[in-house]
């Protein structure tokens, strides 16, 4: 499934792309799922980091597993309302997300779009006309990083959300770059240009 922030946005092949997981990267995560707009709370500095990416010419795309939909914990209307809250919060700091791709299926489904399977990232590459090789993909869980590696993208781990547990447990791709949070990751990415 995909939600575009604006249907008028037509990405070009020259656009730089970055892919972010949502829960644990942009906003605080919850073991009970984010089930309402009131439960969506940004991680300090994350919204400003997205705005910095936008101002540097990046297309920012969110790729997120949302199994709470498949489990019946929330419906698509509520998920849209959560994303609307995120869009409004980003707009207040001069940022935007160009598209949100999500997998609504439960964890036991055999779909191709649920990370760590590559379907969602492959669809992003197709829709944006971008070769996924080297595209920065920032996540907090092993499945985010494995998905990135599976399409040749650059896995980047943040230690927010489930990130510290991911770092402690290991088992993520060897070429993963590690940062304390999204703000640090964006600062390093932009400094390296």
**Any idea which residues carry the catalytic annotation?**
21, 23
Contact 35, 73 (CB under 8 A): yes
Complete DSSP assignment for 154-167? EEEEESTTTHHHHH
Contact 67, 29 (CB under 8 A): no
List, in sequence order, every residue forming a beta bridge with 156; answer none if it has no partner: 138, 177
Phi/psi of residue 24, each to 5°? 95, -10
- Going by the DSSP 8-state scheme, the letter that residue 38 receives in this structure is G
Count Cα neighbours of 159 within 13 Å in the Cβ-side half-sphere: 8
């Amino acid at each position: 499934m995909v939600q575009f922030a604006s249907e008028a946005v037509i990405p070009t092949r020259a656009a730089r792309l970055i892919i972010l997981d949502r829960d644990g990267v942009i906003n605080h995560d919850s073991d009970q799922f984010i089930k309402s707009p009131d439960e969506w709370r940004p991680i300090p500095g994350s919204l400003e980091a997205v705005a910095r990416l936008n101002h540097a010419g990046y297309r920012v795309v969110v790729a997120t597993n949302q199994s709470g939909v498949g489990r019946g914990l929330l419906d698509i209307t509520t998920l849209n309302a959560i994303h609307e809250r995120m869009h409004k919060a980003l707009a207040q700091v001069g940022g935007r997300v160009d598209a949100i791709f999500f997998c609504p299926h439960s964890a036991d489904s055999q779909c191709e779009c649920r990370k760590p399977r590559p379907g969602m990232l492959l669809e992003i590459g197709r829709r944006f006309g971008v070769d996924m090789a080297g595209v920065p993909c920032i996540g907090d869980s092993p499945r985010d990083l494995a998905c990135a590696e599976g399409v040749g993208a650059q896995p980047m781990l943040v230690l927010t959300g489930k990130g510290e547990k991911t770092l402690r447990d290991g088992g993520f791709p060897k070429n993963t770059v590690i940062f304390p949070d999204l703000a640090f990751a964006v600062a390093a990415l932009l400094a390296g240009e």
